Amino acid sequence: MTLNRLISRRQVLRTGAAFTAMSALSPARVAMAGPTEDPFVLRAAAGQAALRPAPYGPTNVWGYNGSVPGPEIRVRQGDRIRVLARNGLDEGTTVHWHGIRTPNAMDGVPFLTQDPIPVGGDLLYEFDAPDAGTFWYHPHQRSSEQVGRGLYGPLIVEEANPIRVDRDLTWMLDDWRMTGDGQIATDFGSRHDAAHGGRIGNSVTINGQIPERIAVRSGERIRLRLVNAANARIFGLDFGGLAPVVVALDGQPVAPHAPDGDVVLVGPAMRVDLVIDMTGKPGESVTVTDVFYRDLEYRLVDLAYEPDRLRDAVPDWSMALPPNPLAEPDMQAAKRHRIVFNGGMMGQMMMGGGMGSMLEQMREGNMWFINGEAATGHMMDPLLVLPQGTSHVLEMDNRTAWHHPMHLHGHSFRVIARNGQPTRHREWQDTVLMAPEERVEIAFVADNPGDWMFHCHILEHQAAGMMGVIRVDSGTTKT
Ligand code: C2O
Ligand code: CU
């Protein structure tokens, strides 16, 4: 097991039992400027953040506008987002708007859709938000270290008519590998991480803080937007006696349902919107536990009921979100493509099925392969070229011993089958978690022209070759 570095919340907090105020747990919000006003400035730079409660000192991080997470960008569906990204780091960077169906040129992928923003430089990102939902932003340049040091923030697109709740909360979950003195361990790019489950840390934060308790009120209905900003950690949250209802996945509405096995699964880069009725009594508390890694369960946070009650009965307000304008794939006409994933420790390839060319590439430091190829260079030949407007099914075959959250840029896709069984909700996602040895089928309309990344969002897997490009060809796309 690779999680030997995980220490429990109790150990992390051995001395400080600080009560975390609600206000401190919300990132600063920004409203978007109108088209004629100045854009919102988002500056990436080194700084410090109080990840650990008092009396511990701050941690050196890289953050946006001096905070981790960066400011919450919050707009209404259909609004134009205009952000001037400034690079205050000592190396090039970009901003990728994860899950937003932007025009290709605004996608923030270095050497594919833009050059990195140079040190001291800036770049205006400008695009509309076609879908309401929970999204996020992060660099796409040397992501393992840039995201791993704290560069990320929430991007919330509100529905024109949101569902009724008492509070709308965002929890950006992150996992840090901290040294004993509370600084970020500098072993980025470790081959061991790359060949196993990625850079798993030992300290989990919610909105940039190791939380102890969060106040709730009896009878309150909360919309909780979970965003997994960790490089590699998968969360499986158990809300104790509460009954969370999943209402959106990766920003896209889904038929409201209880999570499988009552555990809310959130792989890296994925988002889950929950509606939770706080059914406990004043003065009680309920523990949220992360149970994903067996024998390494830990208490994430306690939800503590305030002494007064908000209401007596569970409200009967609808939880169904209005659908976003996504093109429905034509399943009769859809073209099927097989995509096989190999690599990593303990996979079939290691166990004797190894093919010469992959073993050769492994000697060069590549660990993961999509259809036999590890992507390394800056320029990549497309894995697939799809004519714009056509429907496709990707039959993804995970022949590895590891989970992989596979992300496609510029599109949302329906997850239609797992191991040959149709999925119950045919959920729209932009990042789908494949379990070890699992086969997952996704379907989508290739309707957004350009060259789009398709990669594992365990950032160390991505860096070790687990990425490719899918080209949506408008007929005029230059090659
Ligand atoms: Cu969240 Cu290719 O990125
Ligand atoms: Cu992976």
Burial of 424 (0-12, 13-18, 19+ CB in 10 A): exposed
Reply yes or no on whether the pLDDT at 350 is more than 90.
Answer: no
Radius of gyration of the chain (CA): 21
For residue 431, give the ligand 1 atom closest to its CA. Answer: 1
The pLDDT of residue 28 is 61
Ligand 1 site, CB within 6 A: 96, 98, 138, 140, 269, 407, 409, 453, 455, 457
Give the ligand with the smallest distance to the CA of 144: 1
CA 9 – ligand 1 centroid, Å: 29
Burial of 356 (0-12, 13-18, 19+ CB in 10 A): exposed
* Average pLDDT of the residues in 274-287: 97
Quickly count: other Cβ atoms within 10 Å of residue 49's Cβ.
Answer: 19
* Average pLDDT of the residues in 130-135: 98
Q: Does residue 314 or residue 357 have the better pLDDT?
A: 314
Lay out the sheet containing 40-49: strands in order across.
59-64, 40-49, 80-88, 122-128
The pLDDT of residue 375 is 80
Q: Does residue 473 or residue 359 have the better pLDDT?
A: 473
* pLDDT per residue as tens digits for the range 106-118: 999 999 999 999 9
- H-only helix segments in 364-423: none
Reply yes or no on whether the pLDDT at 359 is more than 80.
Answer: no
CA-closest residue to ligand 1 atom 1 = 98
* Average pLDDT of the residues in 165-178: 98
Closest alpha carbon to 101 in 430, 389, 391, 473: 430
Give the ligand with the smallest distance to the CA of 230: 1
Element (H or E) spanning 9, and its range?
Answer: helix 9-12
CA 225 – ligand 2 centroid, Å: 24
Please report, for the chain, how many H helices and E strands are present, in that order: 5, 32
Reply yes or no on whether the pLDDT at 151 is more than 50.
Answer: yes
CA 458 – ligand 1 centroid, Å: 10
Half-sphere exposure of 180 toward its Cβ, with a 13 Å CA cutoff?
0
For residue 269, give the ligand 1 atom closest to its CA. Answer: 1
3-class DSSP assignment, residue 279: coil
Name every residue whose Cβ is closer than 8 Å to that of residue 21 and which is 6 or more positions away in sequence. none
Give the ligand with the smallest distance to the CA of 431: 1
Residues 312-338, buried b or exposed e (16+ Cβ, 10 A)? eeeeeeebebeebebeebeeeebeeee
* pLDDT per residue as tens digits for the range 41-97: 999 999 999 999 888 999 999 999 999 999 999 999 999 999 999 999 999 999 999
Share of the chain above pLDDT 70, in %: 88
| Reported confidence tier of residue 345, pLDDT bands at 50, 70, 90 | confident
CA 422 – ligand 2 centroid, Å: 23
* Average pLDDT of the residues in 441-452: 98
Residues in the 5 Å CB sphere of ion ligand 2: 404, 456, 458, 461
Share of the chain above pLDDT 90, in %: 82
Average pLDDT over all residues of the chain: 90
Q: Does residue 167 or residue 31 have the better pLDDT?
A: 167
Quote the DSSP letter at residue 25: G
CA 56 – ligand 2 centroid, Å: 34
Give the ligand with the smallest distance to the CA of 401: 2
Quickly count: other Cβ atoms within 10 Å of residue 29's Cβ.
Answer: 12
CA 340 – ligand 2 centroid, Å: 13
3-class DSSP assignment, residue 105: helix
